[in-house]
Homo-oligomer: A and B are copies of this chain.
Amino acid sequence: MFSTASNPKVAIAAMAAMKPQLATMDELFSTSPRETLEMGEGLFWEGDRAQHIFEITEGVLRIFKIIADGRRVITGFLYAGDMVGLSLKNVYLYSAEAVTPVKVRRLTRKAFQDAIENSPELRPQLFSLMCDEMAAAQDQMVLLSRKSAEERLCSFLMMLGQRQSGQTQMPKTIQLAMSRQDMADYLGLTIETVSRTVTKLIQRGIITPNGRHAFDLTKPGKLLALCGDGDSYEDVGDPAVKTRQAVWPH
């Protein structure tokens, strides 16, 4: 199946790749028109036929599932530059709604797959994206599995801060695009517990409310310490100690 220029399929692919010379994911979507979503509007629903991949150009999107009794679980928030809809299944595995007004561009799954398959530049980028997504999912599992309400809140604020600062140091102010209910459904808490915990953090002077949907980081160091993921590596030492079990002081 793999061949050289004598295979017309490869030759065509090569030519296709030469024309726009796609080097970034963003360029892939550059020919698509921008579409607008109002606040609260849905982009697609769990179970819909998955025909497109989307790139977010502006705004914040929430990804969620609904289970029995109407319980909602938000599995992620997506910001400008992120992509949604990646999957091999024929239906979307989750729903997507606009948290704020949102602008997206879309590509058919086929166009996307062809572009990836024909671009040795794009493939590692896609792989990298998926790995990052997987790492984020695992961190979220840790949060939901073993962290207290306070640790969840602090972790969430730290994540938002890092995302807004773009990998540099923490910003002074953290913007919350989403409602308390969205936060609760993302953190596996109720809205009341979110409220209580936020109040406690404010009373302890760790954050200061700045309008209804933003916080100033008064003590960013404290916030980091309260995330609960310190010292992960502390006792992971000599790999030569083969039969060591994880220490579990229960």
A interface residue numbers (CB < 8 A to B): 1-6, 10-11, 13-14, 17-18, 38, 40-42, 44-48, 64-73, 75, 86-89, 93-95, 97, 117-121, 123-124, 127-128, 130-135, 137-138, 140-142, 144-147, 181, 185, 188, 190-191, 228-233, 235-236, 239, 242-250
Contact between chains at B230 and A65 (CB < 8 Å): no
With A2-B120, A230-B68 known to touch, is A89 a contact of B138 (CB < 8 Å)?
no
- Whether B232 and A47, one on each chain, are in contact in the complex, defined by CB atoms closer than 8 angstroms, is yes
A-B contact pairs, 9 of them (CB 8 A): A1-B121, A2-B13, A2-B18, A4-B14, A71-B146, A87-B131, A117-B123, A137-B141, A190-B250
Complex formed: what's the CA distance from A243 to B248 in Å? 49
Q: Are A137 and B137 in contact (CB under 8 A)?
A: yes
Q: Which residue of B lies closest to A133 (CB)?
A: B134
Q: Would A145 and B73 be within 8 Å (CB), given that A2-B119, A18-B2 are in contact? A: yes
Contact of B3 with A14 in the complex, beta carbons under 8 Å: yes
Closest to A5 in B: B4
> What residue in chain B is nearest A244 (Cβ atoms)?
B42
A65 with B142: CB separation less than 8 A: yes
- A226 to B, closest residue via Cβ: B68
| Cross-chain contact A232 with B65 (CB below 8 angstroms) | yes
Evaluate contact between B121 and A73: CB separation under 8 angstroms: no
| CB of A38, distance to nearest CB on chain B (Å) | 7
Report whether B3 and A239 are in contact in the complex, using a CB–CB cutoff of 8 Å.
no
Contact A2 B118, beta carbon cutoff 8 Å: yes
